[in-house]
Structure 1
Amino acid sequence: MKRLSLLALPAGLLLAAGAQAQSSVTLYGIVDAGIAYVHNAQNASGQNQSTLVKFSSGNLSGSRWGLKGTEDLGGGLAAVFQLENGFNIGTGVLGQGSREFGRKAVVGLSSGTWGTVTLGRQYDPVVDLVQGLTEDNYFGGVFATPGDLDNYDNSLRVSNSVKYVSPLFAGFQVEALYGVGGVAGATGSGQTYSFGAAYANGPLSLGAAYFYANGGNTTTTANVRTWTSSSDSLFNTVINAGFASAKSIQIVRVGGQYVIGAATVGAAYSNTQYANDTFSAFSSTAKFNNGSVFFNYQITPALRTGVGYNYTSLTGPSSAHYNQVNLGADFALSTRTELYALAGYQKASGNTLNASGKVVSAQASIGSYGVNSGTNSQEVAVVGIRHKF
């Protein structure tokens, strides 16, 4: 084969080669699949309670693939980007509302001294700074708040947003995000903003954040609001479907964890409020308070187990209570591949609102699994495999 001398390359190609040497692009992903058994699941008519056995994609982690990269601009400054696609491995269907890069799509600038600014579709500070301190970080959304009503399992992202992430200062880090509503003459319509802080020192990690999203001014022919915000909605199950016409979502979340040898203990609290106005189908602000605790133990370098408890109460237009317990275990076959088993039980009591604003008996729906029970209790068991690349 004939060698090509660098001396023979045009000057433009030499410059391109030099730029490429200071840049990097990484392809990565997670493929997660399992089989799930659900006791008490609504059938196609949405009325009867049935036993459900289903193929389940994304149990520990949402299945995804992505590209991320950096370009060194000199002086400690770098250009960064990340594109991340979510999909259902059982069907191949795109996730996050069939968006090609629905999980994340950002571009920005990063400095070790001044921090990072990104623009695009991305996670808010509640997810970045608090979610990693909960059991969701270890065993996925089955452990999440019922219906993921407080975004415990990052069911929502914020589109058309700009985010700032500070460098670490003695274990402290802060974040702020603003999502543009994009409505002419109504700056606040559809806007989202969020901010938070975190601290980590040895075995102790703490985080706290605030999130607010305006639901927009779009209404149906019945003059009831439909959610048109820079933020995705959280109204995915019977837990909070009755508040889908909310004027706004407000979330305050705090969490912490402590590592003691092979054990990790953690606790979190959230207050979520769905505010109403004249275009809402409910009459007063719905307030959900949630508390959760978990305990994990690394039995061997390959085997980890965990148990969690989650309590949620609803006050405002109705009163309901949800008690949920979960178990999890995973076994690492390698640094990239693991087998897992998950289980959950939830009991609901009291009353809530349905999608028409009518008071109904509270139904169970475990974590962010997204299956309505049709009754006041539900059990879920899942076994599966996760591979990272």
Structure 2
Amino acid sequence: MKKSLVALAVLAASGAAMAQSSVTLYGVIDVFVGSSSTQNKGNLPVASLRQTVETSGSVNGSRWGMKGAEDLGGGLKAIFDLQSGFSVDTGASGQGGLLFGRQSIVGLQGGFGKVVVGRAILPFYDNEGMNDSMLNGSLSAQSNVMRTANGFNTFYDANPAAGYVLRGNNTFRYDTPNLAGFVGAVSYTLDEKAATSLSTTAGIRVISTSLVYANGPVSGVLAYQTEKPVTSPGTATDRNFTRLSGQYDFGTIIAKAGYGHAGKVDYVDGASTNEYQIGLDFKVTDAFLLTGGVSQSKDKNLLASGDVKRTAFALGYKYTMSKRTFLYGGYEAGVGKKNNATAATPDAKQNIFAMGVQHRF
């Protein structure tokens, strides 16, 4: 009898401990089919290209992940999130084949806010969608022309790394608690430069910050990020990105607007970019959303052959079928123009039409 009571007590204690921790398996499967046309895309003229494509992750990158929390008592929790990206159309791993390339973090959360370490999403990227119409996807106007937007497609820019850093390896990140609608975040990404090899490139040092306000119909974000590749001391300049954006929810219509600035573009001293975005989301019904936007971006002092202005517009829809599944589609068109364009440097043009589906689990 005593042994039975002891066994029951052990099982009860074990159950209580299990109840204080949790692990969740989750994921997003996003794929679209569409047609794209590109003419003279890039810094130098190239042949025009039209193709029909099936592509993964137009609205959100396809992924699977595991996240969890353990109650440590006194309002303190241990947390983790391991997130792996993949392509639905090919089955290949995303983010260069990294197992948990989208995110791999562990940390603590409590009344003080949240602290995590690992490969983390940076604050500048976290709230990009606040001013973006077209579901903040690859069909949006800003995604295709703005340097301060994820997915910038290098119209008249030969540097394939023209976009900002979205995620940082070897990163420390802190998020404040919500204070009357305000939440701040700051992260520091180590370059991990070995002291014995000062002339060898080891990585990139990134400092990223954001301040978000969301209270009632008004929300907005101010974000800043600076990036410095590490070679030898004093030989590499740093580039920086600034974004101010927000939205107002009128009920049926959500109005969005944003401004972005990139300094020392492509690490070129004196080169800069100013850009703007406006958009509207119109709730036709609870299930059907119409969305559209216009964006413009202008590079100065980057190319010796002249400044470049990129403009794009987009129009699309979202039809919600359930809490976890929706259909979407849209059209985006953009053009990049040099202020002294010649036959040798023609306009860069692009248009995309696509329809897709997203399911979450």
Q: What is the TM-score when the length of structure 1 is the normalising length?
A: 0.78
2:102 matched residue in structure 1: 103
One-letter code of the match for 2:101?
A: G
Q: Distance in 2 between matches of 1:266 and 1:40?
A: 28
The change in CA–CA distance for 1:74 and 1:137 in structure 2 (over 3 A counts) is farther
* 1:261 matches 2:251: yes
SS of alignment partner, residue 190 of structure 1: strand
2:215 equivalent among 201, 219, 225: 201
Contact 1:40 1:51 in 2 (8 A): yes
1:371 is aligned to none
Q: Which runs of 5+ in 2 are unaligned?
A: 152-163
For residues 215 and 147 of structure 1, do their structure 2 counterparts lie closer, same or farther at Cα, with a shift above 3 Å needed?
A: farther
Identity of aligned residues (%): 31
Which residue of the partner structure matches residue 281 of structure 2?
296
Partners of 1:203 and 1:147 in 2: CA distance: 28
In structure 2, the residue matched to 1:370 is: none
**1:348 pairs with 2:336:** yes
CA distance in 1, matches of 2:353, 2:259: 25
Residue of structure 2 in register with 1:47 after alignment? 46
Within 5 Å, which residues of 2 pair with 1:37-186?
37-40=35-38, 47-111=46-110, 113-128=111-126, 130-135=127-132, 138-143=135-140, 144-146=142-144, 149-152=147-150, 156-185=166-195
Change over 3 Å in CA distance of 1:59–1:145 after alignment to 2: closer
Q: Deviations over 1:98-127 (max 9, x none)?
A: 11111111000000x200000011111112
Deviations 1:167-206 (A, max 9, x none): 1011111111001111033699721111121111210001
State the superposition RMSD in angstroms: 2.8
Distance 2:58 2:238 in 1: 29
1:368-383 → structure 2 map (5 Å cutoff): 376-383=348-355
- Alpha carbons 2:30, 2:59 under 8 Å: kept: yes
Per the alignment, residue 191 of structure 1 pairs with 205
Q: Which residue of 2 aligns with 1:230?
A: none
C-alpha spacing 1:151/1:323, structure 2 compared with 1 (3 Å):
closer
- Give the match for residue 320 of structure 1: 308
Q: Is the 8 Å Cα contact of residues 296 and 306 (structure 1) preserved in structure 2?
A: yes
Q: 1:378 to 1:151 in 2, by over 3 A?
A: closer
* Kept in 2: contact 1:86–1:102 (CA 8 A): yes
SS of aligned partner of 1:141: coil
Partners of 1:134 and 1:152 in 2: CA distance: 13
Kept in 1, the 8 Å contact 2:133–2:292? The answer is no
What is the one-letter code of the residue matched to 1:262?
T
Greater CA drift, 163-172 or 46-55 = 46-55
Provide the C-alpha distance between the structure 2 equivalents of 1:177 and 1:331, rounded to a whole number of angstroms. Answer: 36
Q: TM-score, normalised by structure 2?
A: 0.84
> Which letter does structure 2 place at the counterpart of 1:213?
E
Distance 1:25 1:261 in 2: 36
Distance 1:83 1:177 in 2: 18
Task: Supply the distance in 2 between the matched residues of 1:361 and 1:76 (Cα, whole angstroms).
Answer: 61
Aligned residue type for 1:347: V
Is this contact kept in 1: 2:133–2:281, CA < 8 A? no
- Aligned equivalents of 2:136, 2:192: Cα separation in 1: 37
Identify the range of structure 1 (180-189 vs 331-340) with the bigger mean alpha-carbon deviation.
Answer: 180-189
Q: Deviations over 1:183-237 (max 9, x none)?
A: 033699721111121111210001101101111218xxxxxx9xxxxxxxxxxxx
Unpaired segments ≥5 residues, structure 1: 219-224, 226-245, 353-359, 363-374
The 1:109/1:379 distance shift into structure 2, 3 A limit, reads same
Asked if 2 retains the 8 angstrom alpha-carbon contact of 1:190 and 1:214, the reply is: yes
